[in-house]
Every structure is written in structure tokens, then in C-alpha cells.
Amino acid sequence: MSDTDNPFSDSDIFIDEEELKKIVEETKQQILVIGVGGAGTNTVSMMAQKRDQFKSENAEVYFIATNTDAQHLRTINADYRFVIGKELCKGRGAGADPKVGEEAAKESTVEIDNLVKQANIAIVVAGMGGGTGTGAGPVIANRASIGGAITIGIASTPLEAEGKVRESNAESGIKNFLRATNTVILFSNRKLLEMVPKERVDAAFSLANSIMMDAIMGIIDSVTRVNSVNAEITDLKRLVSKKGIGAFGAGISDSPPGQRVKEAFNQAINNPFSDVNIGDAKGLLISITGGKDLSAEEHMEAMKLANAAISENALIIQRYETQPEFEGKVKIVLFATGIGSKYDGNLSEEIDFEN
């Protein structure tokens, strides 16, 4: 077709490939995965070693580790590492005191603000019950929220054998985490050990880190994967606006087509790593991954199961993806938000995260 035959030849609304590429670059999401304290930085270190799995054309993902304990931080693999509370803690840790961890983060507010100021999504990972993660995690999450990021907490709860003090510290820390973030996903180390009672404790914690990594990867994938019907970042904002506790579940099945969706969904909804019930959620992101053999009928079955599993007024956002390696299989990942729990209290209560 010649220019004279083209009715759009004089239009200035069309752009070429280079201009499109520039726009994509300018709209990339910046996602920070921030490990705080010993448990949080251990999880981030595991993820950083597998950073290739997080690469995306739509996002820049950075793994950041922060601690009051400089010696432990030396063992951590991350894109960026920094010590908080240098004056207060002298790089020696918070002594299992959440108040010290909190004050250490407040001392380092300027550095934290510079870190999070460009973030679109901040995922803050911390173990609850000790000093740095429990005390500093909510402060860092609060700074990210103030900076405008969607802020998601990932928290592990202590073992019963760790004693009443750590349990009480953890409860207070989770309440503060909930106030500082859009939502907090809890992982119960107690329930994890119930699943693997004969394993060494370090092996169980390694499994916990792996499960948390899967949850974080699922959240990141939901807004960054280009070869899928993916959720938008505005959908994620709507989802986490439900506040309350969040939960994660995943299931996979290679059974025949008449069974696999239900099997995978039941595995995901019966989340063995959390003390909360996904069925109580006010919001749900369901991610369905299969091969080219996954039919539209199976996709609809997954959505019917999701609608039946949670309240009729809940917000449900779906994401669908086809991957060659899932031929003959289906994987379902659930990210639930707005779940009521003993940690709720008055979430609108003002907490002083400032100096």
C-alpha cells in the first residue's frame, strides 16, 4: 500500500519500536525485596542466589539485606547490604530486644528513605520474636509506605520451644507490621516443624526460606510476567487494600484433566504453613499455570472453586499463564488478603515510627 492509499499516513498517533521500547523502560516497576535481621536476610540471600528466576522485562528486582549484626551480614548474598543503628548497636546486633531493633532503624531513617524512595513495591521479610526483624522490620516497612510503595510484609513466627518472651515479642511485632504495611503474610515455623518432625531444625528453616521465596516470586510474577494474562499493579493495590493478614498457598497436579485442577486447588487452599484460613479472605489473587493442553473449561473450574471457597463479597483477581514445562500439569497459586486474626486490634491506631 502506498502512502497515498494509506488513510493513516499523516497521523501522528503512531509510534515506532524504539519509542515503544523507551516507554516500556520508563514504566518499569522497581521492586525491592528487603530482608531485615537474621531470618529475613537468610531468606533474601537464598533468593539472591537465584536472581535469574526473577528477571523480567517489566521490572527491576533488587535484593537488599539489612541487619544490626555486621558479622552475620558478611555471610549474606544480596545486591545491597547495609548495617542499621551503627551508633546504637556498634554492629553487634540488637541483643534479641525489639526496642533496640526499632531504635536502630529510626537512627538510620535517612539511609532507609534513600533506599526506598523509587520503589513501586517493597516486600519486607523478617522473622518475628527476636530483636532486629521484630523491631526494625515495621519501621522499614513504614518508610516504604510513606514513600508511596505497595508494601507487603513476609513474617515467620517463632517455635513454641523458643519461649513465651519471643512469642510475646512476635505478637507485638506482627501487630506493628500490620499497621506499617498493606498486608502481612505469616508463615508458622511451628506448623512447618509439625510437617517435618524428624528433620534437623536447620533443614526445616531452609524449607521455610524456600516456601517464602515461592510466595514472593508468585507476587512478583503476578505483575511482571509478559507471557501471561497477568494482574496489573493497580489490581495488586486493590487486593492489599483489604488490610489484615495475608496468606499464600500453592498446589500442583499432573493427574488427568478431570482431576488436576481440583487437586491443585485443594493443595493451595489447605495451606499447611499458616495458622489462618484462606477461606476467610476478603481478597484473592489466583494464578493458574498450565501447558497448552489446559482447557478453558479447566480454567473456569478453577475460578468456580475460588468463588466457592471465599465469601461472595470478596475481590477475586485472576492470572493465567501458559508454560511449555507445564504440559500435562496445572499449578495453582493463591495469594489471599484481608484475613481477620488475633493480631488485628485497632489497625488504624497511630504508631510512632519516627525518631
The tens digit of pLDDT for each residue in 73-93 reads: 999 999 999 999 999 999 999
The pLDDT value recorded for residue 352 is: 64
Three cell numbers, residue 49 = 542466589
Element (H, E) at 257: none
Q: How far apart are CA 330 and CA 231, in angstroms?
A: 19
pLDDT beyond 80 at 226: no
Compute the average pLDDT of residues 168-187: 93
CATH class assigned to 247-339? alpha beta
For the segment 114-132, what is each residue's pLDDT rounded down to a tens digit? 999 989 999 999 999 999 9
- Pairing outcome for strands 29-36 and 330-339: unpaired
pLDDT beyond 80 at 70: yes
- Pairing outcome for strands 183-188 and 245-253: parallel
Q: Are 112 and 105 in contact (CB under 8 A)?
A: yes
The pLDDT value recorded for residue 214 is: 83
Compute the average pLDDT of residues 197-224: 77
Which amino acid belongs to residue 346? N
Bridge partners of 285, per DSSP, are 317, 335
Helices (H) and strands (E) in the chain, counts: 13, 11
For the segment 258-298, what is each residue's pLDDT rounded down to a tens digit? 899 999 999 998 876 777 888 889 999 999 999 999 999 99
**281: helix, strand or coil:** coil
Secondary structure letter of residue 278 according to DSSP: G
Q: What percent of the chain clears pLDDT 90, i.e. is strictly above it?
A: 56
The pLDDT value recorded for residue 48 is: 95
Compute the average pLDDT of residues 44-49: 94
Higher pLDDT among residues 152 and 274, named by residue:
152
pLDDT beyond 70 at 163: yes
- Pairing outcome for strands 315-322 and 330-339: unpaired
Buried (b) or exposed (e) across 74-88, using 16+ Cβ within 10 A? eebbbeebbbbbeeb
Q: How far apart are the first and last CA of the chain?
A: 68
> Phi/psi at 324 (nearest 5 deg)?
-55, -35
Three cell numbers, residue 141 = 516497612
pLDDT beyond 90 at 102: yes
Q: What CATH number was assigned to the domain covering residues 23-224?
A: 3.40.50.1440
What is the residue extent of each domain of the chain? 23-224, 247-339
Q: How far apart are CA 190 and CA 128, in angstroms?
A: 13
The pLDDT value recorded for residue 64 is: 97
Q: What is the mean pLDDT of the chain?
A: 87
Question: Which ranges of the chain does DSSP label H, i.e. alpha helix?
Answer: 17-26, 37-48, 70-73, 86-89, 98-107, 109-116, 132-146, 164-180, 189-195, 201-224, 233-240, 260-269, 296-309
Q: How far apart are CA 122 and CA 179, in angstroms?
A: 15
Higher pLDDT among residues 11 and 248, named by residue:
248
Three cell numbers, residue 138 = 515495621
Which of 93-107, 153-167, 260-274 is modeled with the greatest confidence?
93-107
> Phi/psi at 9 (nearest 5 deg)?
-60, -25
Distances from the Cα of 187 to the Cα of 62, 158, 207, 285, angstroms: 22, 9, 11, 18
pLDDT beyond 90 at 212: no
pLDDT beyond 80 at 203: no
Compute the average pLDDT of residues 229-238: 77
Secondary structure letter of residue 54 according to DSSP: G
Q: What is the pTM assigned to this prediction?
A: 0.88
Q: Are 151 and 33 in contact (CB under 8 A)?
A: no
Q: What percent of the chain clears pLDDT 70, i.e. is strictly above it?
A: 87
Q: How far apart are CA 299 and CA 119, in angstroms?
A: 33
The pLDDT value recorded for residue 350 is: 47
pLDDT band (50, 70, 90) for residue 222: confident
Q: How far apart are CA 128 and CA 233, in angstroms?
A: 28
CB burial of residue 303 (10 Å; 0-12, 13-18, 19+): middle
> Phi/psi at 216 (nearest 5 deg)?
-65, -40
Listed range (1-15, 210-224, 306-320) with the worst mean pLDDT: 1-15
